[in-house]
Structure 1
Amino acid sequence: MKIRHFLYNSFLIENSNNKIAIDPGQNLWIFNLSSLIPKAEWKNITHILITHGDPDHYWQADRVAQASHAPVVCGKDLAKVEGGETLLVNPRGRGLTSWVPFKNVHPLDIGESVSLGDVQIEALKTVHGPISVPILCFKIKQQPGPGERVGIGSVGFKITVDGKTIVNLGDSVLQTEWAGLKPDVLMLPIGGPGNNTWTMDVYDALEAVKIIAPKKVIPCHYNVAFFWIKNIACADDQLFKREVEKLGIECSIMRYGDEIEV
């Protein structure tokens, strides 16, 4: 099985039968507003997992679903039912004013799971932190919560395939409920609150690694672009890697398009 990374929290997990896409969102750099997962990959995707409804995680989800006919798994708060039809927040809509139908969608509450083919997916508790973005001399702050678009539907995923377990924590602050998960692979954000962003920082992420006890760690969602800001959610990935390896755990630093075998 191989894992490929496409910045932010965007991944492809592949074996002989499956191509699982996590967060097929949008590159937010104003000079490269494109899909994180290349369009050439879309039609062969077999599962689409959405950790929440922010553009860098969700912008291309309906287009990937249309191209691939793959089932979509997301948090229950990203979805609603009207007239017997399941609708999700419009990936490119404004606020919560627009909802669109998805043909094959599985909204999960925390602790619920679904088996799709030979892939089992369980929703884990995550909590999206507040966003603080510098705009000229000001900062725009947004606090996730009921009726807010920021972080809507926030969940993590425990994915079991090929006898291996992969945990992806989306954009989350540290949660004690993760203790003892012990996955083969842990994907977690490190570009955190010390930098006025919305996830764990390096030190909280290290605490998460200690309580989760994975075999391998992939840090993500750091040193990424946000419109005209070239590098936001700053983090020292080499420091993180050194500290993880002191725990006797493997750590893979992945750049855009990098691939590892697990």
Structure 2
Amino acid sequence: MKITHYTYNAFLVEEGNTRIAIDPGQNLWIFALRSLIPKDKWPGVTHIVITHGDPDHHWQSDRVAAASGAYVVCGIGLTKTENSETLVVDPRGRGLTSWIHLRNLHPLDVGESIELAGVTIEAVRSVHGPIAVPLLGFTLRQKPGPDERVGLGSMAFKITIGNKSVLNLGDSLLMTEWEGLRPTVLMLPIGGGGGNTWTMDVDDAIQAVELIDPQLVIPCHYNVPFLWKKKFAVADDARFKREVEALGKKCRILGPGGVANV
């Protein structure tokens, strides 16, 4: 299994002819506003998994789906039913004002799973925390909820291909019910703290590793570019790696375009 990390929570997981794009969102640095997963990778994608509706996770998902014809899996909270048709929130829409149709869309609720072309995807509970973003001397605050776009449809997913599994937690706070999930690979955010309240910080993420008991850990969604800042959601990944390895687990730090072979 080959795993490529494109910063934020964007990953490409490849095994044989299967190529799973996790959170194909947008780079939010104003000097490089582009797709996190390169466009030349889009046509080969077989599955798309979306953990929630924020731009850095969902912005390009419909375009990747159009280029590839891939199956699309998301949390049920990212969708609505209208005239007997299931719609997903518009990736580039404003708030909750626009919704679109996607072919091969499969929304899941917590505990539900689906098998698609040899890949089993299970929905696991996650909770996106409130955001507090400093902006031009002010702090933009939003709390996820049923009428808010922030964190919409938040869901973690356990993806199983053959005898290997990948658990991606999205932008989540720490959940005790993750105990004993035991994936081959765990992808989790570590960039909370320092005013960032919407994901786990390093300490919470280490607790999550202890609960989940994976073989390999890949930290994500930290030290990312955002607006005019080159480094946002700052975290000490060296400390995280040391403490994960002290638990007897493997840990890989993947920079932009970094690859892990599992």
TM-score (norm 1): 0.99
SS across alignment from 2:209: helix
Q: Which runs of 5+ in 1 are unaligned?
A: none
**Residue 17 of structure 1 aligns to which amino acid in structure 2?**
N
Name the counterpart of 1:227: 227
**Secondary structure of the corresponding residue to residue 139 of structure 1:** strand
Residues 118-143 of structure 1 show CA distances to partners (whole Å, capped at 9, x for unaligned) of 10000000000111100122111010
- Please tell me the root mean square deviation across aligned C-alpha atoms, in Å: 0.8
The corresponding residue for 2:120 is 120
Q: Which residue of 1 aligns with 2:12?
A: 12
Residue 47 of structure 2 corresponds to: 47
Structure 1 equivalent of residue 109 of structure 2: 109
Whichever residue aligns with residue 68 of structure 1, its letter is S
CA contact (8 A) 1:197 1:233 kept: no
Partner of 2:145: 145
Quote the offset at 1:242 in angstroms: 0.3
User: 2: CA distance between counterparts of 1:122 and 1:193?
Assistant: 29
CA positional deviation for 1:104: 1.0
CA distance in 2, matches of 1:133, 1:213: 32
Opposite residue 223 of structure 2, the aligned amino acid is: N
Match of residue 100 from structure 2: 100
Secondary structure of 2:114's aligned partner: strand
TM-score by length of 2: 0.99
The answer (yes or no) to whether the contact 1:113–1:122 under 8 Å persists in 2 is yes
How far is 1:165 from its partner?
A: 1.1
Aligned counterpart, 2:86: 86
Q: Secondary structure at the match of 1:129?
A: coil
Q: Which residue of 2 aligns with 1:193?
A: 193
Percent identity among equivalent residues?
Answer: 64
- State the partner residue of 1:36: 36
Q: Distance in 1 between matches of 2:158 and 2:206?
A: 19
List runs of 5+ in structure 2 lacking aligned partners.
Answer: none
CA distance in 2, matches of 1:193, 1:103: 38
How far the C-alpha of 1:85 sits from its partner, in A, is 1.8
Question: Aligned partners of 1:101, 1:162: CA distance in 2, in Å?
Answer: 31
**What are the Cα deviations for residues 37-92 of structure 1, in whole angstroms up to 9, with x where unaligned?**
00000000000000000000000000000000001000001011212222100000
Q: CA deviation at 1:179?
A: 0.3
> How far 1:197 sits from its partner (Å)?
3.8
* Partner SS, residue 171 of structure 2: coil
Runs (4+) off by over 2 Å: 193-197
